[in-house]
Amino acid sequence: MSIGADTELSAPVIPPSVSKRHEESALRAFWQQFASSKLALTGLVVFGMIAVAAVLAPWIAPQNPYDLTQISIMDSRLAPGETSMDGYTYWLGTDDQGRDMVSAMLYGLRISLLVGVGSAVLACIFGSCLGLFAGYVGGWVESLIMRIVDLFLSFPAILVALMILAFLGNGVMNVVLAIIVVEWAYYSRAVRGTALVERQREYIEAAECLVLPPRRILFRHLMPNCLPPLIVIATMQVARAISLEATLSFLGLGVPITEPSLGLLIANGYQYMLSGRYWISFYPGVALLITIVSINLVGDHLRDILNPRNQR
Amino acid sequence: MTTWLLRRILQALLIVGAMSVTVFVAVNVIGDPVEVLISPEATQEERARLIASLGLDQPLWKQYLNFVSDALRGSLGNSFVYNEPALGLVFSRLPATLELAVLALLIAILVGIPLGLYAGLNPDSKASKTIMAGSILGFSLPTFWVGLVMIMVFAVQLGWLPSSGRGQTVEVFGVRWSFLTADGLQHMLLPAVNLALFKLSMVLRLTRAGTRETLSMDFVKFARAKGLKPARVIGVHVLKNIMIPIVTVLGLELGSLIAFAVVTETIFDWPGMGKLIVDSIYVLDRPVIVAYLMMIVLLFVTLNLIVDILYSVLDPRVRLESRT
């Protein structure tokens, strides 16, 4: 994991600092509106804590679960709260290799969040550029792009991703790629819809009268005004991506065994579940659940406040 | 209307064609079945004979043409593993998946619509807020993990319901069904609820949004002003209007339920199409993967077509738009 990835993970929690006065007050108004929902605020705080914990995993985890010198097979499958030979207490138990579940989950969160946030960001960039382009150019290019978008939206994500991974094989990058393939179309459709409305506005006409280069009109004038729906979709899609990655890894077609995400941890504990050793699967699942719910709570509320129909 | 329909059908056929090329190329270029199927100890001659008998020595375009002409005659090759026709294999697993998906859909409708209606009618009550929070949980929970927890609680800890298999089946018209026996229904319950959970939250949210929107419409106010009983206003005037989008969405969702069954079937060891495809992916059983994919493509294109036609029949605005 690189330093670049770490900053990417923590990016959503840090409110952007803005210098201009009026933008600051607009942001403040937005923030006040957002904070009006206790549930959404809780979601944001919880997700922030999870993200921080994931980024800091190597420093806060009690042990490095992938350093073979730190784990002992003698400690395998201990129940939550049991103590190891050398007096260390495993609060959430250990897995079949004798790894501390708390540490394994912290490291697993890193992979889950990296894949989820990374693929959502990349899909957002690709999908929204295409949608923006389609909405701005119009004509047959637009119909072609939108036909392809419709095609991608008409097939269930899990199936498309499953097929891609069946052909490409395991690997973190392959999972990211598969998720981008199944998600980009959502961004395209949303951005194109907004772009169609926005390009009729006077400010685009004004920019065109100034004979600004199309690239500038697209990215400096049109793009910022297409952002609100994009933010909502991106939030929801991060949750979807994390869930999809976990599902694929659970089926054994996601991340490789050397970089276990939460989904793979759950799959590893699956075989012990029927014999009553529930904690190996159960707690990673709880962590996954809390992550996804906290993101969805934020997304749900964002949709309510950013929906233009609700603003009047 | 006729030209629109013809164009729409042509489009659907085009998609099926394009998908067949994509599927075929993807399967043949990226996966190498020779490595999987032929044991490393096989001699050079044995290898060559097997490759020839599977038709893997021919150029790709020729393999594709063979594939299409065979497919049109209803044959997609034999499964490498089971050594029986792939299409037949997929079809033989279809009933198990279908009954699971239909039961899940029924659960989603029968629970989702009443709850959504209640939440839409009393948006500020405590119960509604609980329902809505629950629905966020419903579509946040990863299906596979809910399945695991359900097995843990109902099968392992409480021992109420079986955790895997189809149970007893009854043969009707040459097809085996589980839902006709008590034992089969018991086996179906956990997987069906697991599969239904996500759709249930969706139906619930759709119903609630539809109800809230419809309640402020003039015809509802008028029906109330006429002095109709509240039950009739809601049961007839509101419900009828929110049903159109829900019914059309559900048509499409049946397809996605069949696709999502991949996860549920794997966890509950339900011998349907989804389990078959996951097993086939592990061993790269190409004919089965292709047969399954082509069937899903056909299914989705057909469902989309039906929904489009239904839309234009139900909503004249769509018809007018498509003409221009």
| Cα nearest neighbour of A159 on chain B | B259
CATH code of the domain in which A286 resides: 1.10.3720.10
Report the first-to-last Cα separation within chain B, whole angstroms. 12
Interface test with A, best of B11, B144, B308 (most A CBs within 10 A): B144
| Percentage of the residues of chain B whose pLDDT score is greater than 70 | 83
Instruction: Note whether residue A123 is domain-resident.
Output: yes
Structural domain harbouring A106: 27-310
pLDDT at A122: 93
Q: Is B292 on the interface with A (CB under 8 A)?
A: no
Determine contact, residues B286/B33, Cβ cutoff 8 Å. Answer: yes
* Three-state secondary structure call for residue A169: coil
More confident residue, B289 or B42: B289
Query: Which of B27, B145, B296 shows the shortest C-beta gap to A288?
Result: B145
Question: CA distances (Å), B136 to each of A236, B200, B245, in order?
Answer: 11, 11, 21
Query: Which of A154, A252, A296 shows the shortest C-beta gap to B140?
Result: A296
Tens of pLDDT along chain A (312 residues) come to: 344 433 334 444 444 444 456 667 777 877 887 777 788 888 889 889 888 888 887 887 777 777 666 666 666 666 666 666 666 666 666 776 667 778 888 888 888 899 889 999 999 999 988 988 888 887 888 888 888 888 788 778 888 888 888 777 778 888 899 899 988 888 888 888 888 888 788 888 888 888 888 888 888 888 887 888 888 888 888 988 998 888 888 888 878 777 788 888 888 877 777 776 777 788 888 888 899 889 988 888 888 777 665 543
Determine contact, residues A226/A136, Cβ cutoff 8 Å. Answer: no
Contact across the interface for A167 and B27, Cβ inside 8 Å: yes
Supply the angle between the helices B86-121 and B286-314 in degrees, to the nearest 10.
Answer: 40
Q: Which candidate, A276, A280, A245, places its Cα nearest to that of A102?
A: A280
pLDDT at A18: 45
Q: Is A297 on the interface with B (CB under 8 A)?
A: yes
Contact across the interface for A278 and B282, Cβ inside 8 Å: no
| Residue numbers in A near B256 (CB within 8 A) | 156
Instruction: Note whether residue A183 is domain-resident.
Output: yes
| Mean pLDDT, residues B224-249 taken together | 77
Quote the CA–CA distance of B306 and B324 in Å, as a whole number: 21
Q: What is the ipTM metric for this complex? A: 0.76
Quote the CA–CA distance of A245 and B90 in Å, as a whole number: 26
| Residue numbers in A near B139 (CB within 8 A) | 296
Alpha helices (runs of H) in chain A, residue ranges in sequence order: 3-10, 21-35, 38-55, 57-60, 101-137, 139-153, 157-168, 172-198, 202-209, 214-216, 223-225, 227-250, 262-273, 279-306
Sign of CA dihedral B62, B65, B67, B73: negative
Contact across the interface for B141 and A39, Cβ inside 8 Å: no
| Cα nearest neighbour of B154 on chain A | A274
Quote the CA–CA distance of B29 and B21 in Å, as a whole number: 12
Q: Is B14 on the interface with A (CB under 8 A)?
A: no
Determine contact, residues B308/B1, Cβ cutoff 8 Å. Answer: no
Determine contact, residues A204/A110, Cβ cutoff 8 Å. Answer: no
CATH number of B86-323: 1.10.3720.10
Q: Which candidate, A287, A276, A280, places its Cα nearest to that of A265?
A: A280
Point out the least confidently predicted range of A94-108, A202-216, B5-19, B127-141.
Answer: A94-108
Long-range pairs of A261-266 with CB within 8 A, sequence gap ≥ 24: A261/A108, A261/A111, A261/A112, A261/A115, A262/A105, A262/A108, A262/A109, A262/A111, A262/A112, A262/A287, A262/A288, A263/A112, A263/A288, A263/B142, A263/B144, A264/A108, A265/A95, A265/A104, A265/A105, A265/A108, A266/B144, A266/B145, A266/B148
Q: Is A276 on the interface with B (CB under 8 A)?
A: yes
Q: Is B290 on the interface with A (CB under 8 A)?
A: no
Instruction: Note whether residue A95 is domain-resident.
Output: yes
pLDDT at A7: 39
Domain ranges of chain B: 86-323
Instruction: Note whether residue A45 is domain-resident.
Output: yes
The total number of structural domains in chain A stands at 1
Quote the CA–CA distance of B294 and B288 in Å, as a whole number: 10
Alpha helices (runs of H) in chain B, residue ranges in sequence order: 2-30, 33-37, 44-54, 60-72, 86-121, 126-140, 143-150, 182-215, 218-225, 230-232, 239-268, 273-283, 286-314, 316-323
Model pTM score: 0.80
Pull the structure tokens for residue B309.
């036609």
| Mean pLDDT, residues B17-35 taken together | 70
Q: Is A163 on the interface with B (CB under 8 A)?
A: yes
Q: Which candidate, A54, A41, A39, A34, places its Cα nearest to that of A117?
A: A54
Please enumerate in sequence order all residues whose Cβ is within 8 A of that of A242, keeping only pairs 6 or more positions apart, or say none. A112, A113, A115, A116, A288, A291, A292, A295
Would you mind telling me the total number of residues written for chain B in this entry? 324
Q: Is A154 on the interface with B (CB under 8 A)?
A: yes
pLDDT at B37 over 80: no
Q: Write the Ramachandran bin of A121: left for phi over 0, alpha for psi from -120 to 50, otherwise beta.
A: alpha
| CB neighbours of residue A25 within 10 Å | 11
| Percentage of the residues of chain B whose pLDDT score is greater than 90 | 0
| Residue numbers in A near B142 (CB within 8 A) | 243, 246-247, 250, 263, 285, 288-289, 292
More confident residue, B200 or B314: B200
Quote the CA–CA distance of A17 and A34 in Å, as a whole number: 17
Instruction: Note whether residue A55 is domain-resident.
Output: yes
Supply the angle between the helices A172-198 and A227-250 in degrees, to the nearest 10.
Answer: 160
pLDDT at B251 over 80: no
How deeply is A29 buried, as exposed, middle or buried, from its count of CB atoms within 10 A (0-12, 13-18, 19+)? exposed
